[in-house]
Structure 1
Amino acid sequence: MQFIGHFLAFASVFLWSSLYVCVKILLEVFTPLELLFLQFIIGYCFLLLICPRFLKSTPKEELYFILAGLSGITIYNLFLNLAMDYSKASNVSVIIATAPLFTALLATFLKIEKLSSVFFIAFTLCMGGIVLLSYEEGGFSLNPLGDGFALLSALGWATYSLLILKIMQKTNHLLLVTRRIIFYGILGMLPSFLFLEFSPNLELLLELNTALNLLFLSLFASGLCFVLWNHATLLIGAVKTNVYVYLTPIITIITAFFVLGEKLSILALFGAFLTLFGVILAESKFSKKP
């Protein structure tokens, strides 16, 4: 079961990272809010189609679903898209990569899991590698608003990771729970319509390239990946699952190399090595207190 959990965590991160190309293409024709709303509406309909039953829950369980939807769907995804609009992708990727640390700190504070100093050494290695992966000629440029959005996004994902662990320990209705969480995430986006632009040109969906990219993004990133991630969290815990977030920049860069023809520098390769070493160290028995 441990192997299955690690495989599902890697598969979900691999798909999320690989679909970065779809996001990049679609943000040229839709605003961050338009893209987010459309992709999750389609993702929700997809999960409803394959599992048309409805979930029965208690008021307490419903509260957990609402909080998970707001943190993991609305806050994480909306602020991530906004951060990409205001700040450099390199800055955003480094800040988002702090999500596993926030997850570990929250898990330790709430006495869900215990960590040793080795985990934080592994975190330092991963972050050092990610900085090298994200470094561009001319260095980094700070954008307080964009970088602040990215930090809120990372905090949202850390909160979601612990909430989903609590939720999945009390139910085996994986698809139904994921769909309910996505539903509340969509509702959480509605107040944003008062502040952010939302007037999608639906005629663009008649263009094959746009339609296919949105379909792939919706079915995988907004549907299947959440199902895989939630199941992985149940099997191996929130902290271990979140370690795979460190691999996101590596997978994204490799995808960009093959799909977009972007260059892969020696510095980036060294950064990838540091990050992978950090992930292995974080997953080792030495990083967990008995």
Structure 2
Amino acid sequence: MTDLAVPVRPHARRLAGWALVTTILLWASSYPAIRAGLRGFEPGPLAALRYGVAALAFLVPALAGRLPRPRGADLGRIVVAGGLGIALYNLALNSGEVTVSAGAAGFLINCSPIFTALLGRLFLDERLRIMGWVGSVVSLGGVALIAAGEGGATGVGSGAWLILLAAGCQSIQFVLQKPLIQRYGALATTGYVVFVGALFLLPYLPAAVRAIPAAAGIPLASAIYLGLFPAALAYAAWSVVLAHFPAGRASSFLYLVAPLATGLAVLWLGEWPSPLALCGGVTVILGVILVNTLGRPRRA
């Protein structure tokens, strides 16, 4: 019997639902915040400052004894999850957003649920019905539309490949951390991964500190916001989601991040999406509906 057959208490399901809403809203805000932060910081220093702030936030529960010591057998999984899912993901995403708009970046990251569903099938025995895979392909088509609409005649540019790399790194992190959540809980698992990611980004921290005087204002405020909310709080909330939903199904909800990110980019940065990009957003949402209705696996 798989974990899909284990009944979930109603209050736990509600908690996971609120955690999912929190994650989507905060991660949607991260794309325009990154664009704002890049006006004062280079991609590497911005990532280092962001996760330096997040690591400081997790020091509070760590010093209070709320983070149990991980077992030696899990250290490799934690290091890979933090190195790929935090450090490399943010370096690739920040570098990609130098040339890619916030809305387009959000839609391109939507490849992550496709990767996560495949990895979940291979390593976690999490199954999607055929319409789940159809929905994933539909959403991926929406990603292609938004990329073409934002890039015009020349395409999104080389930054798109970096963002696709980030999507792959995020998927690996989601799959690697799911067994850790079951053993240590959401708070501890997120703290471990954030600490490791911050350590990998440490070489960029001196440059971030040197850039602070010139970046004071919106870029600095954006970096601090990214560390406290889309990093520390949202990753902790996402761990709660993964504790109650299969990794592939949970990540399919993240398709909703991109339309929200596009709207926030319009309000915050004045980055208006093209009509083709809006069409892509509708296509992505259609794929989400397919995955989470007709694509749900039957319970044992």
TM-score surpassing 0.5?
A: yes
Cα deviation for residue 155 of structure 1 reads 1.4
Conserved in 2, the CA contact under 8 Å of 1:6 and 1:236? no
Structure 1 11/185 Cα, relative in aligned 2: closer, same or farther at 3 Å?
Answer: same
User: Are residues 1:72 and 2:89 paired?
Assistant: no
Structure 1 16/150 Cα, relative in aligned 2: closer, same or farther at 3 Å?
Answer: same
Query: Equivalent of 2:73, from 23, 41, 60?
Result: 60
Deviations 1:5-58 (A, max 9, x none): 243223212211123222111101111110000110111111213552253121
Structure 1 Cα separation of the partners of residues 14 and 199 of structure 2? 35
Deviations 1:212-239 (A, max 9, x none): 2222111002210110011111111211
Aligned twin of 1:118:
131
Secondary structure in structure 1 of the residue aligned to 2:97: helix
Alignment of 1:8-19 (within 5 A): 8-19=19-30
Structure 1 Cα separation of the partners of residues 245 and 130 of structure 2? 20
Structure 2 Cα separation of the partners of residues 72 and 132 of structure 1? 26
Cα deviation for residue 208 of structure 1 reads 3.7
Conserved in 1, the CA contact under 8 Å of 2:34 and 2:97? no
Secondary structure in structure 1 of the residue aligned to 2:41: coil
Structure 2 Cα separation of the partners of residues 191 and 260 of structure 1? 30
Aligned twin of 2:199:
187
Structure 1 225/91 Cα, relative in aligned 2: closer, same or farther at 3 Å?
Answer: closer
Structure 2 Cα separation of the partners of residues 48 and 199 of structure 1? 20
The TM-score with structure 2 as length reference comes to: 0.83
Identity %: 24
Conserved in 2, the CA contact under 8 Å of 1:27 and 1:35? yes
Aligned twin of 2:211:
201
Query: Equivalent of 1:96, from 88, 109, 115?
Result: 109
Cα deviation for residue 202 of structure 1 reads 2.6
Question: What residue ranges of structure 2 are gaps of 5+ in the alignment?
Answer: 1-11
Query: Equivalent of 1:214, from 203, 223, 226?
Result: 223
User: Are residues 1:131 and 2:141 paired?
Assistant: no
Secondary structure in structure 1 of the residue aligned to 2:184: coil
User: Are residues 1:230 and 2:239 paired?
Assistant: yes
User: Are residues 1:251 and 2:260 paired?
Assistant: yes
Secondary structure in structure 2 of the residue aligned to 1:104: helix
The TM-score with structure 1 as length reference comes to: 0.86
Secondary structure in structure 2 of the residue aligned to 1:200: helix
Query: Equivalent of 1:38, from 25, 30, 49?
Result: 49
Deviations 1:50-108 (A, max 9, x none): 55225312101222221211121012111111222366667654542211111111111
Structure 1 272/210 Cα, relative in aligned 2: closer, same or farther at 3 Å?
Answer: closer
Structure 2 Cα separation of the partners of residues 264 and 142 of structure 1? 13
Aligned twin of 1:241:
250
Conserved in 2, the CA contact under 8 Å of 1:34 and 1:200? no
Conserved in 2, the CA contact under 8 Å of 1:103 and 1:238? yes
